Amino acid sequence: MTGGKLPDGGILYDGTEEDDDIVVESDAQRPLLAVDWSLTNVNETGLVGADLIGEFVKQLPNSPGVYRMLNAEGDVLYVGKARSLKKRVSNYAQGRLHSNRLTRMVRETANMEFVTTRTEVEALLLEANLIKRLRPRFNVLLRDDKSFPYILITGDSRAPAIYKHRGARGRKGDYFGPFASASAVGRTINSLQRAFLLRTCTDSVFESRTRPCLLYQIKRCSAPCTHEIADDDYAALVSEAKDFLSGKSQNVKASIAAAMNEAAENLDFERAAVFRDRLAGLSHVQSHQGINPANVEEADVFAIHHEGGLTCIQVFFFRAGQNWGNQAYFPKADPQMSGAEVLNAFLAQFYDDKPCPRQILLSEVIEEQELLAAALTARAGYKVQILVPQRGDKKDVVDHVAANAREAHGRKLAETASQARLLQGFAETFALPYVPRRIEIYDNSHIMGTNAVGGMVVAGPEGFVKGQYRKFNIKSEDITPGDDFGMMREVMTRRFSRLLKEEGKPDRSVMPEDSAEAAFPAWPDVILIDGGQGQMTAVRAILDELGIADCVTAIGVAKGVDRDAGRERFFALGRPDFTLPPRDPVLYFIQRLRDEAHRFAIGSHRARRKKEMVKNPLDEIAGIGPTRKRALLQHFGTAKAVSRAAVTDLTAVEGISEAVARLIYNHFHEKAAD
């Protein structure tokens, strides 16, 4: 396999390294890409549109590959793959079967770039990789692309723990998933604690315990930390938990029920009650799983509903014969595309950086079904089937998922229509020249000036855009603790200085493009500040200083008399402060925006405060990373014990040389001397 730099300077993953844009779950997920960059072209003809594409066609081979269409600014408009580059690209030059979307795309094309691959399978993998990384305007885009959470039962300590895990699988242990949401994992782990009494504490806490914690008292843990349970008995509990998560739930429940009956027959009712509670915990897990088809052992089930210019794709995850949740996606796609076309493009992106099951069930046939199955098989290292069931249990499951897709589609359509009306009313209330597409809301959170954090949330035509949220740790030492005006000045300065540097000053003389294909803007049309006239004065001073006061509409929202909701006062430039009628829908909308900013700022502040409270003294020592820190804590138990250790004691720890030991010793003793 080969790899290299992309024409835009990015790095193509070659199966040996990681970069920030591509997360590989395991070796089986590494893309199989072999590419030749010799076909990257630069437009020196001055032509645009179909004429330019026609010139490129003359140079292209009949081999498979990937092409990228760019506009005059160098932005990628579209990424596509082809079995034959020459035949596929020539269709654009000849204007065959062009929708309005493709017509606009061809008209804006000012340059093209090409890369050949050995097979069409490799072209499909590369296309999905580039679409997710570059997010071209005219492609079908998977909007919500967070990694899925898993349950991890660790395998690197004498008493394995059970954790929620997200991201690369770097730790030794057994992973079970994916689950549709973090809340689904949390519910399952809580129930498994009741059923199997596994520990959930960190290794450092586990190693340092001298007596059982509260979880032992409320029968949520068997306390292996203080040997309240023998290691062999704890290992049996871990084995049962793995069996349950692996699909052997009936065997596990039968075994626990038999033990409960035996204890009852022996009149050991206290022990029988323990087994009864464990059975209740297992029943609680399965009661939250909904449909559990007997003939679907391991599969992802996709159904699509495409109507009214909105597409909903619902996916259910089945593993080990259990339903581990579902999630609805609303990909960005041309309304003129069919459901099968959207689903086809969606699936390749969905599995670009996620492990896939051995079976994928679909609600309708897609054009590249066999090709996609071959690509996923090549990546996963085992055979992957893509089926469209016509009868039986699997068809019933697909129909159930399709019903969920229709319901989610209806809810989203209603929310979108409501959001559009609210934004229109917002624009009218504040006399804006156009309906805003991006609103940023700011709030600060701190306790007496400590651990101060500024929060920014973003809302648009489809509601809150959580991927655009930002937090700002207040860093300035010149700000008096508790100075909200100073904090807001720092947040505004950092936010808009960076935005100017990265995006440049927006041209507000041009009306923003209002279409489903328009990219979500980087610049806000409106910023809402949680504060009154004082906050607004600080904000406007920063906007004037940066020369962008005419680019952004700033509005202050001050809490009402006695801080009552519904009596807020609004401050906008060029008009006296005012209130809105108590039952005005726009008032409720603004309250919801402000409350979300408040929630996010407080959450960020609490996370920072918690991190500060549990900060380990070893974190302050240069050269002590996670591995050495873990080794020291496992050897000595606590950071306090490390601080008291002599150099000779420190060198006894694996991975700690005499030089590092001296560094640790000097850190604590110099600190004590100071």
Tens of pLDDT, residues 389-420: 888 888 888 998 898 888 888 888 877 888 88
The pLDDT value recorded for residue 132 is: 82
12 domain residue, yes or no? no
Residue 7 lies in a domain: no
In this structure, the number of other CB atoms found within 10 A of the CB of residue 517 comes to: 15
SS3 212: coil
Final residue belonging to a domain, choices 582, 605, 628: 605
161 and 128 in one domain? no
Do residues 125 and 200 share a domain? no
**Last residue of one domain, picked from the residues 585, 605, 625:** 605
Are 96 and 160 part of one and the same domain?
A: no
Determine how many CB atoms are found less than 10 A away from the CB of residue 373: 18
- Is 2 part of a structural domain of the chain? no
Q: Please tell me whether residues 271 and 304 are part of one structural domain.
A: no
Same domain as 589, residue 453: yes
- Looking at the fold, whether 39 and 179 belong to one and the same domain comes out as no
Question: Residue 665 CB: number of other CB atoms within 10 A?
Answer: 18
Quote the CA–CA distance of 441 and 469 in Å, as a whole number: 10
| C-alpha–C-alpha distance, residues 600 and 494, integer Å | 18
CA distances, 355 to each of 110, 129, 348 (Å): 37, 14, 12
592 lies in the same domain as 470 = yes
Number of domains making up the chain:
5
- In the block, tokens 């319901």 appear at 407
**H or E element: which one contains 250?**
helix 249-265
- Flag whether 507 is in a domain: yes
Is the same domain home to 101 and 79? yes
Structural domain of residue 523, as residue ranges?
431-605
Residue 392 lies in a domain: yes
- Please report, for the domain that includes residue 65, its CATH number: 3.40.1440.10
Final residue before a domain boundary, out of 287, 320, 353: 287
Query: Could you tell me the two tokens for 586?
Result: 């726009």
Q: Report residue 308 CA to chain centroid gap.
A: 27
| Structural domain contains residue 426 | no
Q: Are residues 474 and 519 in the same domain?
A: yes
Q: Are residues 572 and 437 in the same domain?
A: yes
**CB under 8 Å to 329, separation ≥6 — which residues?**
142, 143, 144, 312, 313, 314, 315, 346
**Per the domain annotation, does 640 fall within a domain?**
yes
Quick one: tokens of 223?
Answer: 């306390």
CA dihedral 582, 586, 589, 594 (to 10 degrees): -80
The candidate with the shortest Cα–Cα distance to 375, out of 384, 387, 366, is 384
In a shared domain, residues 571 and 445: yes
Please report the pLDDT score of residue 513 as a whole number. Answer: 64
- The residues facing 141 across adjacent strands are 332
CATH at residue 591: 3.30.420.340
Q: How far is CA 348 from the centre of its chain?
A: 18
Provide Rg for the chain, Cα atoms: 29
Q: Please give the pLDDT value at position 515.
A: 55
How would DSSP label each residue in 182-207? HHHHHHHHHHHHHHH--B-S-HHHHH
DSSP 448: T
Task: Look up the CATH number of the domain holding residue 662.
Answer: 1.10.150.20
How high is the pLDDT of residue 18?
33
Closest CA to 273 of 283, 259, 287: 259
- Quick one: tokens of 548? 């962008």
pTM over 0.85: no
In the chain, the largest separation of any two C-alpha atoms, in whole Å, equals 92
Between the alpha carbon of residue 121 and those of residues 116, 203, 342, the distances in Å are 12, 44, 19
Would you say 384 and 351 are in contact if contact means Cβ atoms under 8 Å apart?
no
Nearest Cα residue to 237 out of 206, 276, 201, 192: 192
| Residue 62: exposure state from Cβ atoms within 10 A (0-12, 13-18, ≥19) | exposed
- The pair phi, psi for residue 515, each rounded to 5°, is -150, 165
Residue with tokens 């005499």: 658
Instruction: Specify the pLDDT at position 351.
Output: 85
What CATH number is given to the structural domain containing 305?
3.30.420.10
Regions of the chain short of the pLDDT cut 50: 1-42, 288-290, 671-674
Rounded CA gap, 140 and 129, in Å? 13
Residue 260 CA to its chain's centroid (Å): 42
The residue ranges of DSSP E strands in 118-161, in sequence order, are 150-154
Burial of 633 (0-12, 13-18, 19+ CB in 10 A): buried
Q: Is residue 41 part of a domain?
A: yes
Name the β-bridge partners of 116.
36, 65
In sequence order, the 6+-apart residues with CB closer than 8 A to the CB of 592 are: none
Q: Do both 535 and 564 map to the same domain?
A: yes
Report the C-alpha gap between 42 and 153 in whole angstroms: 52
What pLDDT shows up at residue 202? 86
Start-end of H helices in 430-516: 484-503
Q: How many C-beta neighbours within 10 Å does residue 603 have?
A: 14
